[in-house]
Amino acid sequence: MTKQEKVAFVIDTLESIYPEIPIPLEHKDPYTLLIAVLLSAQSTDVKVNQITPLLFEVADNPYDMVKLSVEEIREIIKPVGLSPMKSKGIHGLSKILIEKYNGRVPQTFEGLEELPAVGHKTASVVMAQAFNVPAFPVDTHIHRLMYRWGLSTGKNVKQTEKDAKRLFPKDKWNKLHLQIIWYGRQYSPARGWDLEKDIITKKIGRKSVLKDYRKKNG
């Protein structure tokens, strides 16, 4: 199977499983999405979706957020982890949004990545999901599956993103990155992986990955 045949199989299979795909993080506008994505670093979407309603009940816009102290923000978001860094980032970026962007979230990668605690992945998610700009945010699921499928070297997320953008059509990036995340969670997890249920990897998986799996699982 050539890489292009693998890519076509991935696209067709994911489209048949997930013709409509939900955004995992609950939000109502670009600002609340930005905060939710920032909070999701080294946490789970489930946990973030439990905490954001509590935070947004108090402050769901930068003007209300800066009225809170960093410590008050931290107390609310503590369950998601990394709260000292995240609370400073939320307060700091909210202040910048007011001072530099009239309270609005910038619609450029450059503008987003200049904000405190906002890296390339967070900026990519916001650009894709809030502004519908083609992007391919790479999380642990996408990084794992691109390697399992033999579509990337697996060296680092930067290389995985580069490979994904090179292989998949640009007009499909935004939907595909969500489809792969959901597929990774449901059919090809890091732990408790059942190859028989993982129809994509079983069909196109890297030979060394399939060999290792079968050796471990008899």
Q: Could you list the active site residues?
A: 121, 139
CB contact at 8 A, 87 and 42: no
CB contact at 8 A, 76 and 55: yes
Helix (H) or strand (E) holding 91: helix 83-101
Q: Burial-class residue 20 by CB neighbours within 10 Å (0-12, 13-18, 19+).
A: exposed
Q: What share of the chain is helix, strand, coil (3-state, %, to 5)?
A: 65, 0, 35
* Cα–Cα nearest to 34, from 62, 73, 54: 62
